[in-house]
Structure 1
């Protein structure tokens, strides 16, 4: 066989190998269609499952659920972000199911009241004419979407609502009207200017009536540096967010964080905001694997402390315990290895 023929056969082999590999796909989620009687339409839902969800080597686990508004815009980046932050041994959060809700009529679904704002160009035209349907939309999430997710997936009784702009307005409104629906709320650059700052009024009324927000609830608000926008129609955005901040911080009862992003504008702030929000909501979840080698009881103590703060029970995942056991064995921490082996058998007993 001459060299030229050898080269041709080698190239053919490489081509076939590459073509076979090219057919392997990386999937970050699946699309589902849900028929809504409340909204009288079909809604498309995008679902991302944690990396360990279908791992047959561990016991089937339950996972918190993150409900993500504007799913068609945020789903891909959010899924990757949540996986990254949940990666052991330095996980800042538990693995979560991410449910992206794709829009149909965004203004209708995300705004709390009917708009009567006239167009500055044509006074005969009412801006945002299809607004004011947020109560129906939150009913859809609570009464139809959540039961669907809970029925078809292994879910923990802990959920987060995430929104941006009108979605942030929606998240704040749900906190004020149905605070029990979610454990944590994320509002990225929320449109609190809506309807003459009606949610500012509702916040004051809520606190006048209830004196404080419910225990164990979290609210994260990001704010963009809308310097250029503040010179035009969007000037009320910053003022409303700052006014809301003052009211909430004065109350002092809510787990609340406000973060101003100097180098981000309204259209870009949700990405760093979502990252910072997850770090804030799950602060205290991460444990130091090196400290556990000398004080193995610290793991259960820290999970208990975090659970009390979160208002829900969280336990170390089996996959994380496997990482800890490997670390202890590799580094010769025999006593700690024995302790965590016992903890794993207690939390995840082997079937006979």
Structure 2
């Protein structure tokens, strides 16, 4: 029979054990990475109302780099999973797309903002069906004159914008391309609400495709449905799109009008950045010239100067370093410092290369610079102290 003393000890041990388990679980919970999401209001003078904007910054967002921007119509419906998707596809292991900023425009009156016409299914306007006057025109102006400038002023953006629209928002995205073809460099149209009655938007689309020097990318999708006449878009693209305007179409038989969005955005982003992928685990060694040539090709494709990304160059430099090609590695690390002068990691890596070469003076200079930019670089502190002690 258990004595009262033994029972008390057992109870205390039991409580201590589960308390430790709880604390361990709580500490693990604290390690879940925080998302870099923010929200703010734009007091729109164009729409004469405040509008909520949600923004997701990519993992590792740095003021020393710039990022393309993905704009989501019906933003509140798509923001969470699209933000996760862009982080997933741009992760080091996958590297299918560049890291990007995601911007969601939250709806207030979807019918007013996104519809380019009244409901004219019977050939007559029906103002009781959809509350629209010139909502789409104003909303496009709001994006052009207020949202995009605000995003550019707050965040480190590249001059490359992608617009995503589903259903009614897909029709609006097509209208936006027709009206301001240079505002968004790529468009993802997901089961857009295109019908036989969309005479104006399809006529304008035909004219837009025949513009001189038209450039850009368009990805069009359709779920297993018979209400959206997406063939009206694809037929025009087949007949009139110039070689400088890339497009693709995908039909998802296993998805309906509402479930088609996830696969559409996943495949659409990979289509837009089909030439971006490079296996970070590849053993292929690249010289600074070869890396520059790769990013020159990407710059030509996307229409603006794309500097070699810090992660990509760092990866190639360490492969050269491990292969014993110290001078080539130094050239690559120096390229990173030149292109990303505010990156503490660029200086840290350059310092490591100098240390391996035996150039302590240069190694110390770069570790000091790294620590100036990031005083919390604990490994850098240890290495610098060791180098200084050996002088």
How high is the TM-score relative to the length of structure 1? 0.85
CA shift in 2, pair 1:118/1:11, >3 Å: same
Matched, 1:16 2:20: no
User: Which 10-residue stretch deviates more, 252-261 or 103-112?
Assistant: 252-261
* SS of aligned partner of 1:293: coil
Once residues 202 and 345 of structure 1 are traced to their aligned partners in structure 2, the CA distance between those partners, rounded to angstroms, is: 47
Deviations 1:266-307 (A, max 9, x none): 111111111111111112112244364155533221111111
CA shift in 2, pair 1:4/1:266, >3 Å: same
Deviations 1:40-86 (A, max 9, x none): 111111100011115xxxx6211111111111110111001111111
Once residues 346 and 23 of structure 1 are traced to their aligned partners in structure 2, the CA distance between those partners, rounded to angstroms, is: 37
Matched, 1:243 2:251: no
Q: Is the 8 A contact 1:117 1:127 kept in 2?
A: no
Once residues 221 and 320 of structure 1 are traced to their aligned partners in structure 2, the CA distance between those partners, rounded to angstroms, is: 31
Q: CA deviation at 1:24?
A: 6.2
Q: Is the 8 A contact 2:117 2:132 kept in 1?
A: no
Matching residue of 1:93: 97
Matching residue of 2:3: none
Once residues 318 and 151 of structure 1 are traced to their aligned partners in structure 2, the CA distance between those partners, rounded to angstroms, is: 23
Once residues 47 and 314 of structure 1 are traced to their aligned partners in structure 2, the CA distance between those partners, rounded to angstroms, is: 23
Q: Is the 8 A contact 1:224 1:260 kept in 2?
A: yes
Matching residue of 1:286: 277
Matching residue of 1:127: 129
Once residues 17 and 294 of structure 2 are traced to their aligned partners in structure 1, the CA distance between those partners, rounded to angstroms, is: 57
Once residues 157 and 126 of structure 2 are traced to their aligned partners in structure 1, the CA distance between those partners, rounded to angstroms, is: 49
Which residue of the other structure, out of 237, 242, 251, is the alignment partner of 1:260?
251
Q: Is the 8 A contact 1:118 1:124 kept in 2?
A: no
Matching residue of 2:308: 316
Structure index of larger Rg: 2
Once residues 5 and 272 of structure 1 are traced to their aligned partners in structure 2, the CA distance between those partners, rounded to angstroms, is: 53
Q: CA deviation at 1:252?
A: 3.3
Which residue of the other structure, out of 49, 61, 65, is the alignment partner of 1:41?
49
Task: Note the 1:263-278 alignment, pairs <5 A.
Answer: 263-278=254-269
Matched, 1:75 2:79: yes
Which residue of the other structure, out of 66, 75, 85, is the alignment partner of 1:62?
66
Unpaired runs of 5+ residues, structure 2, are 1-5, 342-346, 348-365, 370-391
Q: CA deviation at 1:192?
A: 1.5
Deviations 1:157-187 (A, max 9, x none): 1111111111111111111110011111111
Q: CA deviation at 1:196?
A: 3.8
Matched, 1:216 2:215: yes
Unpaired runs of 5+ residues, structure 1, are none
Matching residue of 1:304: 296
How high is the TM-score relative to the length of structure 2? 0.77
Q: Is the 8 A contact 1:115 1:131 kept in 2?
A: no
Matching residue of 1:148: 150
User: Which 10-residue stretch deviates more, 166-175 or 7-16?
Assistant: 7-16
Matched, 1:345 2:334: no
CA shift in 2, pair 1:99/1:323, >3 Å: same
Once residues 348 and 308 of structure 1 are traced to their aligned partners in structure 2, the CA distance between those partners, rounded to angstroms, is: 21
User: Which 10-residue stretch deviates more, 173-182 or 255-264?
Assistant: 255-264
Q: Is the 8 A contact 2:118 2:126 kept in 1?
A: no
Which residue of the other structure, out of 51, 61, 85, is the alignment partner of 1:53?
61
CA shift in 2, pair 1:105/1:195, >3 Å: farther
Which residue of the other structure, out of 117, 120, 141, is the alignment partner of 1:113?
117
Once residues 267 and 167 of structure 2 are traced to their aligned partners in structure 1, the CA distance between those partners, rounded to angstroms, is: 17
Q: Is the 8 A contact 2:74 2:105 kept in 1?
A: yes
* SS of aligned partner of 2:332: helix
Q: Is the 8 A contact 2:288 2:332 kept in 1?
A: yes
Q: CA deviation at 1:345?
A: 2.9
